[in-house]
């Protein structure tokens, strides 16, 4: 496999890893914190974690979806990725309190979890379509 052929696969792998990290952060970390409150001080992530994950996910998704589009020409993966990234951005806005919801923590978890699943699904579909042609 040439370097140019390996780049889209790498971008999808990075996108899947970032989406999974986001999902774990949103779902598993709160569960861990609920089950073991004493560990909360050691496990707590900095406030900038949401923004950092989104900042890394944007170029990875763009590179992967662009390469996939060129290879398979299907619109569904890029649309799912855009929806997922949009939900991640809304989750960040809720987390920061910019949306004025009664419970920003619940809104953040819900939007971010759905966004991470959509983005992971987009990367998985893109990978499968790109490598089964």
Name which residue leads in pLDDT, 10 or 39.
Answer: 10
pLDDT for residue 85: 95
pLDDT confidence tier of residue 40, bands split at 50, 70 and 90: very low
pLDDT for residue 89: 94
Q: Which of 126, 93, 113 is nearest to 25 (CA)?
A: 113
Name which residue leads in pLDDT, 93 or 5.
Answer: 93
pLDDT for residue 62: 93
Name the phi and psi angles at 101, rounded to 5.
Answer: -80, 155
Domain ranges of the chain: 3-131
pLDDT at 122 over 80: yes
pLDDT for residue 84: 96
Model confidence pLDDT, tens digit, residues 27-37: 665 665 555 44
Distance, CA of 61 to CA of 27 (rounded, Å): 22
Q: Which of 29, 79, 78, 81 is nearest to 50 (CA)?
A: 29
pLDDT confidence tier of residue 65, bands split at 50, 70 and 90: very high
Q: Which of 29, 42, 48 is nearest to 109 (CA)?
A: 29
pLDDT for residue 80: 97
3-class SS of residue 35: helix
């Amino acid at each position: 496999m040439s370097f140019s052929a390996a780049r889209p696969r790498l971008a999808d792998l990075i996108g899947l890893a970032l989406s999974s990290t986001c999902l774990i952060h949103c779902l598993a970390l709160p569960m861990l914190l609920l089950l073991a409150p004493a560990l909360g001080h050691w496990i707590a992530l900095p406030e900038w974690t949401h923004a950092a994950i989104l900042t890394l996910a944007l170029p990875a998704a763009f590179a992967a979806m662009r390469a996939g589009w060129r290879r398979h020409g299907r619109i569904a993966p890029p649309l799912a990725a855009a929806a997922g990234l949009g939900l991640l951005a809304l989750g960040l806005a809720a987390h920061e309190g910019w949306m004025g919801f009664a419970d920003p923590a619940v809104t953040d978890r819900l939007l971010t979890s759905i966004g991470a699943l959509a983005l992971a699904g987009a990367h998985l579909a893109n990978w499968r379509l790109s490598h089964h042609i």
